[in-house]
């Protein structure tokens, strides 16, 4: 077969179209007397894509017989691999011909003709050789200028190749060069829940695809693909003219080979240097690969939106089928995506994708590649995109895992399979609780965002919600945002106090205090007088926490917090009220030792990472839990935190009969609201606030965050047995002790009166 676009040099004629497809509708040059060099170029352009069977495929026709190929097989192809030599020779030879013609016209010998009508010219005839010196001078000058110009052009090309052209690696595997790795994410049970990164489908041979899919791509992206050597000057000029007329970029001049060069080797930056490199690499590709190989690479490596690379992956993503089975309408939609894949992706812009598909159908009709009836049917029955996974809030966890994967397995080529600790049921419960908590009432109070993190008691991350909607904002407030925790930091103050010898029953006086220039006040601006530490924790009394920090030392409090897993805690007095920046993820993990009797497990979200070939790249081996407080201190802390939910600021978080402990937290001007808590089976933390630190309307940790925490924990514990927490029982307050003492005094006085006025006196009377 004569490859479309192959130009033979002798006695050529244009063969009319021979078939309904765009492939056959290219004007194929057929020559009656081809020379050996042309046949060598023809054989190179007709090389098979994958296997020898392709020789009988869609690139072969009756133009060249098997006998002709065999007869020419012994001749060595005269082909320059770079493609540059032929271009330079063509330019210079044409330039020499034009300059030679100009020289002959100006200074060459003229043919004799009719005598000159001018008498003076006839009267004074020139002698032989007269004026020859001037002609020789100007001829030499023009020749020298031409040589210098050609030398300058050659130098410019050499500069381009030496300093601008990128170095394409030898023996490079173009199927895998600069290929992004995909991350396939599995849940705790090994079920695939999603993938992150580039999704490449299986490699498909163009001859396996419907004709109209290849035709749609060629008619839209590069109609002269088989007629140029990588750079289409005619197409570039046409695009520049169209763009100049419209005043905007309405047509691109890059060929399919140039697009492939950009996708394989270059960045997407829009600069002239990059365009030059792109053109030079396109010449390199054309010199080293056949047209069939180039189109095969293109359709398997081009980005088509929604994370899909290649027509096979895109067809599966958008239509749930192989690219081998797409309809004409679906093929038109796929072919319209390379221009702007993110803009026309049907998952994001279905109407725009449908309009773009209509333009592709117009291109097919213009190229006479489809019948008008088929095009009309495709317009009347446009492609239907399958329903995508609408569980978008899992995206926060996927992004978190992808970042962790890059840390644990850096610079690994190929796709990665990552088994995580996520529990799909708990994740759905968390998402539902966050959405239910951010009610219209809460948002009217200025609470626009919320985040939730939940850990199992062994440190496995079971649920993560980074915001109200991943679709609206991909910023993960659970893992990326650093906010002050307010009073939810106080448990670490009281850990230091327990370790310094205080007990939950230790008494302090709730009163105005001042330490230097710092004078902390209570949330209610009221003071309760003498209280126990259990009551100070339950009612979140700021003045007592400040006094405790002053007694034990801010350094001890900071050391305790960092021992539990909080990073970079400053030893300031104000840390008593949570004046330290934390991430919800690390802050929730720091509460784990309260639920585990003082043992700190290593928090983790990834169990193992391996390649598609089964090579294990990473596997989490849990280290022995670190004891960060004694069992006695852990029991006292649970006893104090239990009072918060039982009778304190966190009553909305109560789980009924199931023992639970936790702490509320609210920062100045109600900018952040927290609830951190745990049961014997699960530890969870909730944050509510705004990304721009805008104050809320009196949203405290005991309101919306406590409600979200309760809803999640209630759903998460369905079907789980009720387990006790050591230390989770009610405590008597200092005020209750006074009442009990007064009661017992009254009872004692009553008994005394009965003794004096009762039986003893009556007994004496009987005597």
- Kindly list the catalytic residues: 221, 487
CA distance 648 to 663: 9
Q: Residue 16, class by beta-carbon neighbours within 10 Å (0-12 exposed, 13-18 middle, 19+ buried)?
A: exposed
Task: Name the strand (E) or helix (H) holding 377.
Answer: helix 372-380
The 10 Å Cβ neighbour count of residue 471 is 11
Strand 308-309 relative to strand 199-200: parallel, antiparallel, unpaired?
parallel
Q: What is the C-alpha radius of gyration for the chain, rounded to an integer number of angstroms?
A: 41
CA distance 223 to 209: 18
Token pair, residue 496, equals 């230091």
Phi, psi for residue 452 in degrees, rounded to 5: -145, 140
How far is residue 38 from each of residues 44, 80, 228, 283, 546, measured CA to CA in Å?
10, 13, 15, 19, 91
Give the distance, in angstroms, between the CA of residue 646 and the centroid of all CA atoms in the same chain. Answer: 44
CA distance 390 to 138: 78
How far is residue 516 from each of residues 513, 519, 520, 573, 574, measured CA to CA in Å?
10, 8, 11, 10, 12
From 462, 463, 464, 465, select the one nearest 435 (Cα to Cα): 465
Task: Name the strand (E) or helix (H) holding 342.
Answer: helix 341-344
CA distance 566 to 583: 9
The 10 Å Cβ neighbour count of residue 349 is 16
Question: For tokens 């979140």, what's the residue?
Answer: 540
What residues are paired with 416 via a beta bridge?
Answer: 183, 611
CA distance 651 to 649: 6
Token pair, residue 538, equals 């339950």
Q: How far apart are the first and last CA of the chain?
A: 142
Instruction: Using the Cα atoms of residue 704, residue 708, residue 714 and residue 715 in order, give the sign of their dihedral.
Output: positive
How far is residue 529 from each of residues 497, 532, 533, 544, 675, measured CA to CA in Å?
20, 10, 12, 10, 26
Token pair, residue 493, equals 């103050």
**Which positions ≥6 away from 565 have C-beta within 8 Å?**
586, 589, 590, 592, 600, 603
From 566, 604, 601, select the one nearest 586 (Cα to Cα): 566
- DSSP conformation letters of 698-761: S--TTTHHHHHHHHHHHHHTTTPPP---TT-S----HHHHHHHHHHHHHHHHHHHHHHHHSHHH
Written in H, E and C, the secondary structure of 391-413 is CCCHHHHHHHHHHHHHHHCCCCC
């Amino acid at each position: 077969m004569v490859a479309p676009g192959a130009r033979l040099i002798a006695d050529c004629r244009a063969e009319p179209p021979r078939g309904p497809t765009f492939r056959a509708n290219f004007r194929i040059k057929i020559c009656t007397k081809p020379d050996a060099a042309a046949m060598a170029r023809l054989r190179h352009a007709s090389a098979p894509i994958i296997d020898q069977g392709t020789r009988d495929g869609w690139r072969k026709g009756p133009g060249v017989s098997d006998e002709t190929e065999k007869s020419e097989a012994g001749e060595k192809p005269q082909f320059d691999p770079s493609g540059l030599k032929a271009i330079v020779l063509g330019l210079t030879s044409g330039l020499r011909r034009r300059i030679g013609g100009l020289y002959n016209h100006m200074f060459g010998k003229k043919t004799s003709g009719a005598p000159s009508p001018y008498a003076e010219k006839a009267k004074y005839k020139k002698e032989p050789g007269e004026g020859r010196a001037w002609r020789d001078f100007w001829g030499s000058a023009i020749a020298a200028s031409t040589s210098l110009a050609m030398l300058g052009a050659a130098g410019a090309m050499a500069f381009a190749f030496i300093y601008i052209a990128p170095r394409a690696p030898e023996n490079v595997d173009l199927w895998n060069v600069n290929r992004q790795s995909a991350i396939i994410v599995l849940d705790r049970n090994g079920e695939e829940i999603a993938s992150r990164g580039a999704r490449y489908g299986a490699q498909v041979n163009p001859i396996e695809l419907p004709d109209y899919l290849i035709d749609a791509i060629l008619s839209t992206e590069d109609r002269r693909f088989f007629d140029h050597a990588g750079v289409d000057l005619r197409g570039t000029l046409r695009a520049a003219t169209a763009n100049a007329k419209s005043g905007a970029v309405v047509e691109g001049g890059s060929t399919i080979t140039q697009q492939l060069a950009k996708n394989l080797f270059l960045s997407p930056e829009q600069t002239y240097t990059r365009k030059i490199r792109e053109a030079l690499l396109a010449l390199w590709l054309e010199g080293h690969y056949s047209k069939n190989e180039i189109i095969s690479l293109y359709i398997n490596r081009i980005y088509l939106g929604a994370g899909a690379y290649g027509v096979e992956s895109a067809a599966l993503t958008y239509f749930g089928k192989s690219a081998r089975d797409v309809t004409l309408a679906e093929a038109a939609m796929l072919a319209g995506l390379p221009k702007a894949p993110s803009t026309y992706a049907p998952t994001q812009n279905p109407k725009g994708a449908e309009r773009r598909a209509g333009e592709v159908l117009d291109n097919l009709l213009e190229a006479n590649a489809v019948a008008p009836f088929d095009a009309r049917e495709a317009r009347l029955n446009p492609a239907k995109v399958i329903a995508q996974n609408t569980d978008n809030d899992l995206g926060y966890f996927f992004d978190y895992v992808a970042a962790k994967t890059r840390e644990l397995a850096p610079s690994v080529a190929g796709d990665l399979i990552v088994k995580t600790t996520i529990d799909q049921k708990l994740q759905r419960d968390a998402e539902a609780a966050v959405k239910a908590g951010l009610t219209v009432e809460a948002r009217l109070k200025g609470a626009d965002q919320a985040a939730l993190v939940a850990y199992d008691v062994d440190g496995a991350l079971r649920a993560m919600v980074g915001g109200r909607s991943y679709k609206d904002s991909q910023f993960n407030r659970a893992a990326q945002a650093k906010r002050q925790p307010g009073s939810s930091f106080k448990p670490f103050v009281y850990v230091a106090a327990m370790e310094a010898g205080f007990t939950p029953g230790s008494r302090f006086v709730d009163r105005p205090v001042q330490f230097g220039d710092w004078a902390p006040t209570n949330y209610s601006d009221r003071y309760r007088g003498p209280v126990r530490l259990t009551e100070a924790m339950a009612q979140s009394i700021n003045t007592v926490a400040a006094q405790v920090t002053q007694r034990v030392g801010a350094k001890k409090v900071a050391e305790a917090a960092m021992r539990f897993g909080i990073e970079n805690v400053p030893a300031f007095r104000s840390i008593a009220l949570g004046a330290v920046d934390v991430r919800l993820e690390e802050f929730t993990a720091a509460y784990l030792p309260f639920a585990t009797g003082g043992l700190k497990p290593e928090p983790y979200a990834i169990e193992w990472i391996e390649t598609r070939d089964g090579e294990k790249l990473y596997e989490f081996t849990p280290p022995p839990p670190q004891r960060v407080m004694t069992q006695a201190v852990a029991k006292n802390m649970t006893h104090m935190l239990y009072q918060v939910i039982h009778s304190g600021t966190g009553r909305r978080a109560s789980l009924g009969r199931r023992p639970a402990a936790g702490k509320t937290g609210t920062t100045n001007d109600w900018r952040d609201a927290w609830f951190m808590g745990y049961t014997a089976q699960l530890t969870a933390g909730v944050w509510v606030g705004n990304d721009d630190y805008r104050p809320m309307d009196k949203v405290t940790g005991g309101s919306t965050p406590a409600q979200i925490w309760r809803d999640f924990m209630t759903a998460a514990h369905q079907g789980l047995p009720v387990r006790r927490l050591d230390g989770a029982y009610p405590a008597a307050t200092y005020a209750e002790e006074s009442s009990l003492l007064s009661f017992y005094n009254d009872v004692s006085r009553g008994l005394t009166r009965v003794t004096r006025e009762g039986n003893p006196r009556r007994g004496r009377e009987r005597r």
